A and B are shown apart, each in its own frame.
Chain A
Amino acid sequence: GAVVSQHPSRVICKSGTSVKIECRSLDFQATTMFWYRQFPKQSLMLMATSNEGSKATYEQGVEKDKFLINHASLTLSTLTVTSAHPEDSSFYICSAFAQHLQETQYFGPGTRLLVL
């Protein structure tokens, strides 16, 4: 149980385009989903917290207009990187939380974004 998927696993795009990443909890309903970014050899950086049906809460320094988060259902959240630039190239990881599942987060496999 507690399986989280992400799609796509890898994406290469041109500078200026937008990229959408999907995060799904496959076998449970997630009350909250989290989006992280991780640069090589660095720790996880929380970008935003997303609750179904409400606006995401962004961490300080994260541009909400650049990283659009939609949480349409208890099993799906999406992150759209708008007008991507090479500095947005990173490993984006989502996680899902459900109170009844050890009260912790279960991570998706991640999406590696490369902006040319």
Chain B
Amino acid sequence: QKEVEQNSGPLSVPEGAIASLNCTYSDRGSQSFFWYRQYSGKSPELIMFIYSNGDKEDGRFTAQLNKASQYVSLLIRDSQPSDSATYLCAVTPLGNQGGKLIFGQGTELSVKP
């Protein structure tokens, strides 16, 4: 079992729809959760982080965390073609103080005009 799992996609949604990206993790002691966006040919950029159970909203993005079920998700409202990218879920393992992250393989999102 991979430590952090994501559906590789591609996930295709029409412009204006809600895109839902999911991630599950195996380490129950994980404390911090991050979503990165990576455009083709570019490096990842941090778009959201969440530490506590529940929802966290930032503009069109909402991160959801459920530690009991060990999943974290990212919702993108009013999806735009510019949101087309690969979204990487990353998790900090328990006890890790050195910044190491465990990355999922990423979900490719395609927003169709």
* Interfacial residues, chain A to chain B (CB-CB below 8 A): 31-32, 34, 43-44, 46, 49, 51, 91, 93, 97-99, 102-110
Select one of A51, A104, A107 contacting B43, CB under 8 A.
A107
- Is B88 at the interface (CB under 8 A from chain A)? yes
Contact-residue bracket for chain B: 20 to 34
A110 and B98 in contact, given A103-B32, A104-B90 (Cβ under 8 angstroms): no
* Interfacial residues, chain B to chain A (CB-CB below 8 A): 32, 34, 36, 41-46, 49, 88, 90, 92, 97-101, 103-106
A97 contacts B49, C-beta separation under 8 Å: no
Q: Which residues of B contact A34 (CB under 8 A)?
A: 99-100
How near does chain B come to A49, taking the closest CB pair, in angstroms?
Answer: 6
Q: Which residues of B contact A102 (CB under 8 A)?
A: 46, 49
